[in-house]
Amino acid sequence: MRTRSTPTPPPAAGPGRRAFLAGGLAAAGLGLAGCGPAGPLPGGGRTRLRQWNLFTGGDGARMVEMHDAYRREHPGIDFQPTTYLWGNPYYTKFVMGAAGGRAFDIGTLHLSRLRGLGAGTLIDPVPAGLLAEYGVTEADVLANVWEKCVVDGELYAVPLDTHLTVTYYNREICAEAGVLDAGGELIATSGPEEFFDLLTAVKEVTGQYALSIETIAAWRHFWSLYRQQGGEMTFDGELGIDDDKALRSLDFLRRLSAEGLAPQSSDAPGTPANFQNGIAGLLLTGNWEIATFQNAGMDFGMRPFPAIFGPELGQGDCHALVLPHRRDRDDAAVRAAVEYAAWMLKNSITWAGGGHTPAYLPVAESPEYADLRPQAEYRHAAADVQFDPEAWFSGSAAPLQNEAAAIMSGLHTGAVTPEVALDRLKRAAQRLIDTPEPV
């Protein structure tokens, strides 16, 4: 996930070629070897804990707030967080730092990237027993999320949140369009035609568009629609995909713009702006945009991704905390890192202010979270978050998303048909399958 407070993933495929990693990581190992060891500082001082993350903007401000509180409660920890740019800039640093074996003690990761970034090689297991000592166990996390944290029977990540694609609606516009229920919430629709009828009513009020949708990041919408139909995607030597379900999903995206209900082209800053300015009455994007509209003083609500081809399933991901591989084991640093991860989960009500649903159930099910609006309106959707398909090139800011974005944007402009888009997506996926796994 990314937040709108963070930049849209660039089209570059990131670390993807074995040749690059073979030379780049070797060089990184030499370069990072000069970094001092973690753990207690010389002279018996505080335990050093170096944390890497990819949070800027609104998320970054909340992370700083949490880190300030962590420091106040942990005077014995020399806490040193570092923030890198979202997407490939961060993940390139992450891979090189983990390969060096000494650069940082705990890092942030999109859970969809856990396997592809080297669980068991560049990422060390999290001692589950130690995590339990600090009050976090499997029973404290949604089952679908905890399952993604486990690789070959070992825990490799501690999930901080769930973030997914949801529906925002402008209450004033939607009330005038007659699409709110008696409680002032957006009515639920079932099937594409009911949803198009709703959009048509909203467009009559705005006079421009009904729905704001980021046309250059269409993968999230495609995967939501495809998964609502029960579609699977596999990469075992060759691409496995259900053509009929994929074409249905792609044609739905095409229709949104072809029928004038959504823009033909809308980028990362323009998409929320269209909603904020009343150019569109609804918005499909990640739950991380909440702060943008709250700061603008908008009267808006939220609900899960609409039920177009099945249940209200939306594509999403989790931010998780992981332990990079260490050349030399440092028990004090590991203990400090695991305690930090547990502390972050227990204090994630602050993090929830930015729209992310806490992964830690005692927080997500707390009265404090229930009072957060509109966050609590869609929290049940986290139990059914639709992660990207498993592959080293899949997940947030990974090559598959970037390839799909370039291909699917043409659906909205009318430059390609669903059939052409699907053919190009299949060929791009096969090229990635044929590329040797870099880690």
Q: Would the pLDDT of 419 be above 90? A: yes
Spell out the residues 6+ positions from residue 427 whose beta carbon is closer than 8 angstroms to its own.
none
pLDDT for the residue 44: 56
Q: Would the pLDDT of 28 be above 80? A: no
Q: What is the mean pLDDT of residues 233-246?
A: 97
Q: What is the mean pLDDT of residues 380-389?
A: 95
The angle at the Cα of 18, spanning 25 to 119, to the nearest 5 degrees, equals: 70
Q: How confident is the model at residue 29 (pLDDT cuts 50, 70, 90)?
A: very low
Pair of tokens at residue 62: 């909340």
Mind giving me the DSSP string for 78-102?
EEEEEE--TTHHHHHHHHHHHHHTS
At residue 229, the 3 state secondary structure works out as coil
pLDDT for the residue 253: 97
The DSSP letter of residue 155 is: E
| Three-state helix/strand/coil letters over the chain | CCCCCCCCCCCCCCCCCHHHHHHHHHHHHHHHCCCCCCEECCCCCCEEEEEEECCCHHHHHHHHHHHHHHHHHCCCEEEEEEECCCCHHHHHHHHHHHHHCCCCCEEEEEHHHCCCCCECCCEECCCHHHHHHCCCCHHHECHHHHHHHEECCEECCEECEEEEEEEEEEHHHHHHHCCECCCCCECCCECHHHHHHHHHHHHHHHCCCCEEECHHHCHHHHHHHHHHCCCCEECCCCCEECHHHHHHHHHHHHHHHHCCCCCCCCCCCHHHHHHHCCCCCEEEEEHHHHHHHHHCCCCEEEEECCECCCCCCCEEECEEEEEECCCCCCHHHHHHHHHHHHHHHHCCHHHHCCCCEECEHHHHCCHHHHCCCCHHHCHHHHHHCECCCCCCCCCCCCHHHHHHHHHHHHHHHCCCCHHHHHHHHHHHHHHHHHCCCCC
Q: What is the mean pLDDT of residues 228-240?
A: 97
The DSSP letter of residue 376 is: G
Pair of tokens at residue 318: 């989790």
pLDDT for the residue 43: 41
Q: What is the mean pLDDT of residues 7-30?
A: 34
List b or e across 231-249, with b for residues whose CB sees 16 or more CB atoms inside 10 angstroms: bebebeeebebeeebbebb
Q: Name the one residue in this structure whose structure tokens are 């500082």.
A: 41
Q: Would the pLDDT of 42 be above 80? A: no
Rg (CA), the chain: 22
pLDDT for the residue 103: 86
Q: What is the mean pLDDT of residues 218-247?
A: 97
Percentage of the chain exceeding pLDDT 70: 90
pLDDT for the residue 392: 94
pLDDT for the residue 330: 85
Q: How confident is the model at residue 328 (pLDDT cuts 50, 70, 90)?
A: confident
Report pTM: 0.88
Model confidence over 89-102: pLDDT tens digits? 999 999 999 998 88
Q: How confident is the model at residue 23 (pLDDT cuts 50, 70, 90)?
A: very low
Model confidence over 117-172: pLDDT tens digits? 989 999 999 999 999 999 999 999 999 999 999 999 999 999 999 999 999 999 99
Helices then strands, each counted (H, E), the chain: 17, 17
- Between helix 399-413 and helix 418-434 the angle, nearest 10°, is 170
Q: What is the mean pLDDT of residues 395-406?
A: 93
List b or e across 400-420, with b for residues whose CB sees 16 or more CB atoms inside 10 angstroms: bbbbbbebbbbbbeeebebee
Q: Would the pLDDT of 35 be above 70? A: no
- Rounded to an integer, what distance in angstroms lies between the CA atom of residue 141 and that of residue 100? 31
Q: Which domains does the chain have, with CATH numbers?
A: 28-160+318-384 (3.40.190.10), 165-316+398-434 (3.40.190.10)
Burial label, 328 (beta-carbon count in 10 A; 0-12, 13-18, 19+): exposed
- Rounded to an integer, what distance in angstroms lies between the CA atom of residue 73 and that of residue 70? 5
Q: Rounded to whole angstroms, what are the CA distances from 277 to 166, 212, 216?
A: 19, 11, 20
Pair of tokens at residue 307: 């039920």
Task: Indicate the range of 39-53, 57-71, 285-299, 386-400 predicted with least confidence.
Answer: 39-53
Pair of tokens at residue 193: 């035609």
Mean pLDDT, the chain, rounded, equals: 89
pLDDT for the residue 329: 77
Higher pLDDT, 389 or 38: 389
Q: Would the pLDDT of 291 be above 60? A: yes
The DSSP letter of residue 190 is: B
Q: Would the pLDDT of 21 be above 70? A: no
Q: How confident is the model at residue 33 (pLDDT cuts 50, 70, 90)?
A: very low
- Between helix 192-206 and helix 243-258 the angle, nearest 10°, is 20
Q: Would the pLDDT of 295 be above 70? A: yes
Q: How confident is the model at residue 38 (pLDDT cuts 50, 70, 90)?
A: very low
pLDDT for the residue 228: 98
